[in-house]
Structure 1
């Protein structure tokens, strides 16, 4: 480009930016679009992984820098930190139109401060806490030069073999929707453009949580009624919460790759739901249409993805290499390109990047925000709220502070890295991570703690058993730290066998045989099968992967400084053969009415139908009593509501929080309905002896469902209202009737 032409374009761009503050964003977007060549438009649709751009010299670095300077890149991922984002943005500012880059990163459950893995945090059922941790993650990420996170994952998942179950909110559409709202609002803050907010990305659109056999990258197959009823609601909630972006998924849905699904991306997301943000592909999901056998080559895949509504291509290069020719050949309308580009430019304007491309890359702010110690206190609180008490025989917990010696046994007792779980921005930075051992030592009490590893997480060696047994014999009580490793869940971490791995359960039995009381800390990013421990341990806490403050939070719960209030967001199976198992099952034509009589019933002959630990289950160090259920009417019409009231009291000896859960069963409908569906919950804290009147309002929306024709409505008939502390512990029931018009 000659100097005169460059100067003319620079003059044209400069007033465009300064005058833009007085124009609407749409006008500003249109102004930029008119200046762009087709190639520059396609560049905005192209996202690269930029790990090598600020590294040593390489051909890839040279090529990406050249692409930045020629306007061929609209976004980069895997670049973090003010120094690198500023350096790369400066290269983009050498392009003809100086359109700023977007920087994205998988900030899944924290940036520098690591919070519980999303499935674990969902066990808190504490929407404000979830929103707060998402906001802290956004604040740290934004201070480090990032604009965008590829979270929250809002896939409903009912197969714990799927490794990515860790990233979501579990098995229920209602709970998942509420958590989706909390996380989107947490990431995006008051509004995009604030320096403590980043763009959220609802993923994976759609039905990825139903991947066949729980195997990552696999197909999903279901009726549209099931899709709309179970798998789409959290995505709709994310749209309503203002999610800036969506990511499509790796799976096929009923034979069509989601990346090429016009039904998902245009018919539902952009047309029916009026989604105004943009859709990014998952990593190379456009290119993967070829091995799926759906597209013959990358050019064909690019055509299908663009027509279907996939706006930005992550890493496949299919758009960059093929879209211009597809437009020239008349196979892709330039109007589709323009729509995708406008969606992306709009977000860059909303973030304020046209006014100042470096506004998120301030070194002083990065230092101040990342040094904020308040974030650790928030992480500790969120971790404690996520712990689920599964068993507490003879009230062995909270621990007696007068124990002279406690043995910490198991391969996870001193681990730091595992406490972070998977999908961590800085996986090797464990300097500030608090292990279980550290958390106990930090109490500085009179108890002596001794440690024995016993065995590895995986493997067959029992060489350490003798030392572990000897430690148990010296102690008054054993804390047994067991589970899977932190990198055994997450993407590409599907497991066919979700039992606790290695020799750990054998080690537990050897320790338990000493006769000493054993408190088991079971750790993982998914439901695990641990029947021997569940049967024989005196107490069991499921502690997930709790993040930076894991050990302190576990210690807080063990000693009763925090009364556990977590409830399972997903069912824990008894055996692999039950999978998938979820609470909202159907009656079937031959229901099991008596577990002792399963002859010609919908039942296993060698296993219970019921989960080992049900959805919504979780104990406390206190007890709660439900009583005095009242409804203001037992018959009502669609334009009316039913108010349900009951009394909740703390009947124990310590303060605690109870998650009261509202379930509804539509007893007869045009489509068979699950026998329980979560329709509301409240987390209520009570002091000993304190009572509170709790209220739920039931309206038409809570009773509506998608019928066989995908009509969403409530049908007249009887509905059973059920209230309790878990899906398998219903304390109060009442039948109400919705009358016809």
Structure 2
């Protein structure tokens, strides 16, 4: 079938003839409401087309933005096979090398989708890709996009206007390359210090998380979904933070979520905020609740995506949510990549086969199978009378409505040249870097010889470790050893236990939170020779207690480049960060934590909200970046 032509209706209305019948059908009429267009299209679709809507699989981009017509490293099928053969219209994109090639690929993919019987446009989704972490199970490093703090860094800054600004810029950059669905925000409460998914959250304080959830959704979606929006899938319902022992539910050893602190409702609160602000989608987590009771009823101990009491009764009926519910990835089938496997996250229902898992997910009230493309299984369930076509219609209706609200049926194409200009442009990157600097949390800043180590003083001899010496050279003379230095600047990562048995496992930082003895000894050796400034790059909590007796100044960061950190340390952009999570005193305290309620006061070294506010007045003689910009603007006006 040829690609749809743009035509004029008899009354002059311009429309896309998506089914190539020469008539402006209701679903093709841009003047009709999204609800009217949805109902018209739904009654035209074949069962295979409706079933295809209910799957969202991973997709890869071919060379120079070409459509990839063979299975890739991550994708299971060639693109035409899933678009035209299986009728899929939702794809989770992974690697993107450049904005222009991403835009070119979007256009090629949309042209391919236009060859389907009713020309249903594709919705391209992504995990976060504006920060630092490269983990194909969680998020992507920024690539061609502008670079910002991770979500927990935005929470550390705790300025909703900055979160709104980030979300608006990310929306603009996503739209420029054709991405119209964000598989975020992640609004889980980071109450279990060991949990490896904290960096993409807004921390552990429910109030703070809700405030930033509101700003985030407004920036991406606007006041309501429209042609300028990127739809959001808020996750992981009803809160993925209370993982037993902090182990992650991607893996069999992390399948259990526990509530010893009876704080379930606290974890639910950010999702109530997201629903109130119109989130287009919600994603349940993999975890299975253990010993959870709601309204006097014990909750079935199966993964949340299989759990009717959680999805249908709690989310749909009690909270009144009627948007799209998409499962987390690969609840139905195992994922084999190379010589590794990641078992289907069928927690609590491991005894069921793939058909049984799919049936239970549908009975729970979910609309879309994340990470799957096994349309033949759902077709079989319908053919056998186990799933009614009316049930398929319920989900297809919700999914189509979002596509119409986003304006995809009227124009799914993007401008390659504009994408190249706007994505990751200098202005966006400057705003992102400034947010990074501001998000730095100063947890200790002791006096040494009558003065604090921050701000960095000019013209010092500097020893660096873990920081790019070329950048440090802008702030002093870099020397080779601590003995030669006036000050030592050291940057380290948070501790974790390396694992690499299951697919994706090596990317997840799990296990204990104590630093290795050898690292502590090395820092003690440096500190015995020269005043020491240490930054810890936190992707989750860490036991910082040994560092408090070693470092003269201690900062923590949540997605901050070396350059942005040095600007904060020097006072060029004063750090404003406040801890979005509590820092434990010891691993014994961590092991005793109530996973849903967080650390007790006696177990806490630094509480949520701790951070030394070092404004520009605390940096005498130091001109901030903002002050320089203001002076430059004034000078420009004077000369004009």
TM class, shorter-length: 0.7 to 0.9
Aligned partner of residue 179 in structure 2, secondary structure: coil
Give the 5 Å matches for 1:224-623.
226=262, 228-254=264-290, 255-287=301-333, 288=344, 290=346, 292-294=348-350, 296-318=352-374, 320-358=375-413, 361-370=414-423, 372-394=425-447, 395-408=451-464, 410=465, 412-414=466-468, 437-441=469-473, 443=474, 447-450=476-479, 471-484=481-494, 493-501=508-516, 503-514=518-529, 516-546=530-560, 550-579=561-590, 581=593, 609-621=602-614
CA distance in 1, matches of 2:621, 2:215: 26
TM-aligned CA deviation for residue 114 of structure 1: 2.0
CA distance in 2, matches of 1:224, 1:73: 42
Aligned partner of residue 146 in structure 2, secondary structure: coil
CA gap 1:23/1:71 in 2 versus in 1, 3 angstroms: farther
1:22 aligns with 2:54: no
Aligned partner of residue 232 in structure 1, secondary structure: helix
Give the 5 Å matches for 1:674-685.
none
TM-aligned CA deviation for residue 127 of structure 1: 1.0
CA gap 1:584/1:191 in 2 versus in 1, 3 angstroms: closer
Greater displacement, 248-257 / 66-75:
66-75
TM-aligned CA deviation for residue 56 of structure 1: 6.2
**Please, which of 213, 220, 233 is the counterpart of residue 245 of structure 2?**
213
Q: CA RMSD in A?
A: 3.3
Residues 317-339 of structure 1 show CA distances to partners (whole Å, capped at 9, x for unaligned) of: 35x12222222333222222111
TM-aligned CA deviation for residue 572 of structure 1: 0.6
Residues 507-560 of structure 1 show CA distances to partners (whole Å, capped at 9, x for unaligned) of: 11111111x2111122221121232221121111112322xxx23321222122
1:34 aligns with 2:43: yes
TM-aligned CA deviation for residue 94 of structure 1: 1.1
**Paired position in structure 1 for 2:149:** 116
CA distance in 2, matches of 1:108, 1:262: 32
Aligned partner of residue 107 in structure 1, secondary structure: coil
Unpaired stretches in structure 1, ≥5 consecutive residues: 3-7, 415-436, 452-470, 588-602, 624-649, 657-741
CA gap 1:275/1:234 in 2 versus in 1, 3 angstroms: same
8 Å Cα contact 1:163/1:488 also seen in 2: no
CA gap 1:148/1:392 in 2 versus in 1, 3 angstroms: same
TM-aligned CA deviation for residue 312 of structure 1: 1.0
8 Å Cα contact 1:140/1:370 also seen in 2: yes
8 Å Cα contact 1:249/1:285 also seen in 2: no
TM-aligned CA deviation for residue 565 of structure 1: 1.9
8 Å Cα contact 2:284/2:304 also seen in 1: yes
**Paired position in structure 1 for 2:295:** none
TM-aligned CA deviation for residue 570 of structure 1: 0.7
CA distance in 2, matches of 1:25, 1:401: 60
Report 1 or 2 for greater relative contact order, CA contacts < 8 Å, sequence distance ≥ 6. Answer: 2
TM-aligned CA deviation for residue 227 of structure 1: 5.5
8 Å Cα contact 2:239/2:267 also seen in 1: yes
TM-aligned CA deviation for residue 438 of structure 1: 4.7
Taking structure 2 as the reference length, the TM-score comes to: 0.79
CA distance in 1, matches of 2:39, 2:371: 27
CA gap 1:232/1:289 in 2 versus in 1, 3 angstroms: same
Aligned partner of residue 488 in structure 2, secondary structure: strand
CA gap 1:185/1:404 in 2 versus in 1, 3 angstroms: same
CA gap 1:63/1:51 in 2 versus in 1, 3 angstroms: closer
8 Å Cα contact 1:162/1:495 also seen in 2: yes
8 Å Cα contact 1:202/1:245 also seen in 2: yes
Residues 366-421 of structure 1 show CA distances to partners (whole Å, capped at 9, x for unaligned) of: 0121252111221122112211111111142433534431111x2x212xxxxxxx
**Paired position in structure 1 for 2:13:** none
Taking structure 1 as the reference length, the TM-score comes to: 0.69
Aligned partner of residue 443 in structure 2, secondary structure: strand
8 Å Cα contact 2:261/2:594 also seen in 1: no
Aligned partner of residue 271 in structure 2, secondary structure: helix
**Paired position in structure 2 for 1:675:** none
Aligned residues: 551
Give the 5 Å matches for 1:681-720.
none
Unpaired stretches in structure 2, ≥5 consecutive residues: 3-16, 97-101, 132-141, 291-300, 334-343, 623-640
Aligned partner of residue 282 in structure 2, secondary structure: strand
CA distance in 1, matches of 2:350, 2:43: 35
TM-aligned CA deviation for residue 267 of structure 1: 1.8
8 Å Cα contact 1:280/1:311 also seen in 2: yes
